[in-house]
């Protein structure tokens, strides 16, 4: 089961959702109150399920676009508010919530995505080599550590929407063309 994050501008509402989830035998790893905090957390944790209420600093759609591919969002909306955009990583539930439906939805998303990610998380030896070479190029070009090169690859991957291996291959190809 992957990490579960609860986020809402209203800290009391977020704690209430956390209590419901924990009552359903689900562990909540973090409670956050801003989109900025969520993105900062996501930069260090590549896979999680986000249970999201209303935020003051960004919309759920914008947040869903900014999060890495390992993130799914369960968006909690007031019953009269329409969902304007449909996204593959965004599920909408309307309040008032049916507790059983809510818990089942969160359990299903947390479990299925964890299974999907464990099957695809292992890189082939070729992909690992491509990443190592790209990190070496970045380390030499920017005079940074391997860890900083990895973070730079992750950040650029998120910014461009490319997988890290694809971006690493582009960096490697550019380097080979120059030399």
Half-sphere exposure of 80 (CA within 13 A, CB side): 0
Give the pLDDT confidence score for residue 80 in this predicted structure. Answer: 77
81 compared with 25, residue with greater pLDDT? 25
Please write the tens of the pLDDT for every residue from 161-170: 888 888 888 8
Q: Does position 117 have pLDDT exceeding 70, yes or no?
A: no
Domain 125-178 has CATH 1.10.10.10: yes
pTM given for the model:
0.63
Burial class (CB in 10 A: 0-12, 13-18, 19+), 53: buried
Place of tokens 């464990």: 118
The CATH homologous superfamily of the domain defined by 3-120: Response regulator (3.40.50.2300)
């Amino acid at each position: 089961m992957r990490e579960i994050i609860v986020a809402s501008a209203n800290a009391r509402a977020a704690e209430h959702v956390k209590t419901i989830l924990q009552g359903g035998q689900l562990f909540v790893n973090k409670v956050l109150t801003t989109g900025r905090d969520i993105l900062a957390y996501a930069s260090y944790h590549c896979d999680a399920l986000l249970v999201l209420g209303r935020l003051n600093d960004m919309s759920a759609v914008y947040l869903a676009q900014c999060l890495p591919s390992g993130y799914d969002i369960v968006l909690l909306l007031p019953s009269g508010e329409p969902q304007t955009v449909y996204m593959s990583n965004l599920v909408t539930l309307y309040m008032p919530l049916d507790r059983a439906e809510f818990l089942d939805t969160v359990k299903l998303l947390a479990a299925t995505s964890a299974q999907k990610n464990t099957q695809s998380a292992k890189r082939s030896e070729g992909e690992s080599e491509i990443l190592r070479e790209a990190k070496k190029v970045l380390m030499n070009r920017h005079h940074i550590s391997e860890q900083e090169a990895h973070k730079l690859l992750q950040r650029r991957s998120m910014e461009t929407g490319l997988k890290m291996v694809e971006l690493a291959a582009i960096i490697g190809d550019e380097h080979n063309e120059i030399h």
